[in-house]
């Protein structure tokens, strides 16, 4: 079995630095473009089945990746994004701390020490997302009908990291470098019920489209330098 796990394309809420969670917006025009470029890169992959988060941004991404291929698409709530409860839709703009609408200490903890992050009312813990994605992963890799199949899993930044935690060597390092970029693809090779990470966070579009929307506040001061470096490498 081959599993291609992809994060959805860019959305307007990403650009506005709003926490999407289990609400959020659909792909914006650039998000559609990123998904189309990723679809082109994966055009030779013969997907047999797709599992997608029911949230519109993940479903839309899966539709673009699959294009006109006749592939069964199954809505899978266990790979929905982490629920942010009453924080969903609020701003967490590290470039402009005055716009922060959620507690700064928990925002930092979510990024630096996610396993001890304390969610708001109605929200989920990282452990909750790890548990539900693990249950899905185990069910998927042991499905006897899928052992020789190629599977597309369309999900979200935090949920993808939780899903990949099943094959990461260091399970305590939840983020593995940060939130995966929009439309980044990781590939898991499964043999005899054991998954191996074959490729991690691959992107198939030019560097001018690279964005990191959710940053630690300490990163804000050096964004100009980072942008200059990115521009030089376009």
**Full 3-state SS string of 89-152:** CCECCCCCHHHCCCCHHHHHHHHHCHHHCCCCCCECCHHHHHHHHHHHHHHHHCCHHHCCCEEE
Per-residue pLDDT of the chain (234 residues; tens, 9 = 90+): 999 999 999 999 999 999 999 999 999 999 999 999 999 999 999 999 999 999 999 999 999 999 999 999 999 999 999 999 999 999 988 777 888 999 988 989 999 999 999 999 999 999 999 999 999 999 999 999 999 999 999 999 999 999 999 999 999 999 999 999 999 999 999 999 999 999 999 999 999 998 876 555 444 333 333 333 334 433
Write down the pLDDT at residue 230.
35
pLDDT score of 231: 41
Q: Containing domain of residue 194, as a range?
A: 2-232
Residue (of 169, 166, 144, 151) closest to 52 by Cα position: 151
pTM above 0.85, yes or no: yes
User: If we measure between CA atoms, which residue out of 87, 195, 77 comes closest to residue 142?
Assistant: 195
DSSP code of residue 198: E
CATH classification of the domain holding 74: 3.40.50.1240
Is 175 strand, coil or helix? Answer: coil
Number of domains in the chain: 1
**For residue 7, which phi and psi values (nearest 5 degrees)?**
-85, 145
Phi, psi of 197, rounded to the nearest 5 degrees: -75, 115
Q: What is the pLDDT of residue 96?
A: 79
């Amino acid at each position: 079995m081959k599993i291609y796990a992809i994060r959805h394309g860019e959305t307007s809420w990403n650009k506005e630095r709003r926490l999407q969670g289990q609400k959020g917006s659909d792909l914006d025009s650039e998000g559609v473009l990123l998904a189309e470029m990723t679809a082109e890169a994966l055009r030779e992959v013969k997907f047999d089945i797709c599992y997608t988060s029911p949230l519109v941004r993940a479903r839309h991404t899966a539709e673009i990746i699959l294009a006109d291929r006749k592939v069964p698409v199954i809505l899978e709530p266990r790979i929905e994004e982490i629920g942010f409860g009453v924080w969903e839709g609020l701003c967490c703009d590290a470039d402009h701390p005055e716009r922060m609408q959620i507690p700064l200490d928990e925002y930092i903890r979510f990024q630096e020490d996610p396993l001890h992050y304390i969610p708001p009312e109605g929200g989920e813990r990282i452990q909750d997302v790890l548990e539900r994605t693990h249950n899905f992963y185990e069910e998927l890799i042991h499905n006897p009908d899928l052992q020789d199949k190629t599977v597309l899993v369309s999900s979200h930044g935090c949920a993808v990291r939780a899903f990949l935690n099943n094959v990461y060597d260091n399970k305590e390092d939840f983020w593995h470098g940060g939130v995966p970029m929009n439309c980044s693809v990781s590939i898991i090779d499964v043999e005899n019920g054991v998954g191996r990470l074959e490729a991690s966070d691959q992107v198939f579009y030019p560097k001018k489209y690279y964005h990191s929307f959710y940053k630690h506040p300490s990163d804000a001061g050096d964004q100009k330098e980072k942008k200059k470096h990115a521009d030089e490498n376009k």
